[in-house]
Amino acid sequence: MSALKIKRGATSHSAYNLRPNFSDVQERHTLAVIVDNEAGVLARVIGLFSGRGYNIESLTVAEVDHEGHRSRITVVTTGTPQVIEQIKAQLGRIVPVHEVHDLTVEGASVERELALLKVAGEGDKRIEALRLAEIFRANVVDSTLDSFVFEITGDVGKIDAFADLMRPIGLVEVARTGVAALSRGSV
């Protein structure tokens, strides 16, 4: 307490507010980065993340403009708001990067992922796997006498839930594409 009996940082409107304005809350963000489609660009973008200790939860890359030789890199990462802003600023400074969009803050967006799941089982387990696949709208893309391969698309939560339900039935293997995302609306 000071001589005026005012606690330091008692309120954010106080002249004595000495609390830092940094948030410790980890947020999940989806970034869309438009880059030149040339050798080494992906390595430079990913190097930015690994060199600074940032984690990538999902990564998808594909050429989106054949004539302009441009690719779209969709990265899902987590961090504090300050870390996310730093990532966006550093991505924007890489020479072959044309645009950086944070789909999480720019408005509504659509995110989807594709997964293939191999489930082994016989008898009642096969019937249960098919029943659950129907509920989740998963397609059977391969079938043998002792296993199925299911194809499922949706948001990350839907795919995680489907995989969790298939584990006790006999989930053998999972392959996921990573998140593909676009902002909603005309712009």
Closest to 170 (Cα-Cα) out of 142, 148, 141: 148
CATH fold for domain 109-183 = Alpha-Beta Plaits (3.30.70)
CATH superfamily assigned to domain 27-102: ACT domain (3.30.70.260)
**Token output for 72:** 């779209």
Domain ranges for the chain = 27-102, 109-183
Q: What is the pLDDT of residues 115-130, one digit of tens each?
A: 999 999 999 999 999 9
Q: How far apart are CA 164 and CA 175, in angstroms?
A: 14
| Cα 75 from Cα 143, distance rounded (Å) | 33
Higher-pLDDT residue of 44, 8: 44
Query: 60-86, pLDDT tens digit by residue?
Result: 999 999 999 999 999 999 988 899 999
* Alpha-carbon torsion angle 115, 118, 121, 123, nearest 10: 60
pTM: 0.78
Q: What DSSP designation does 26 have?
A: -
Supply 116's token pair: 């293939």
Decide if 27-102 and 109-183 have a common fold: yes
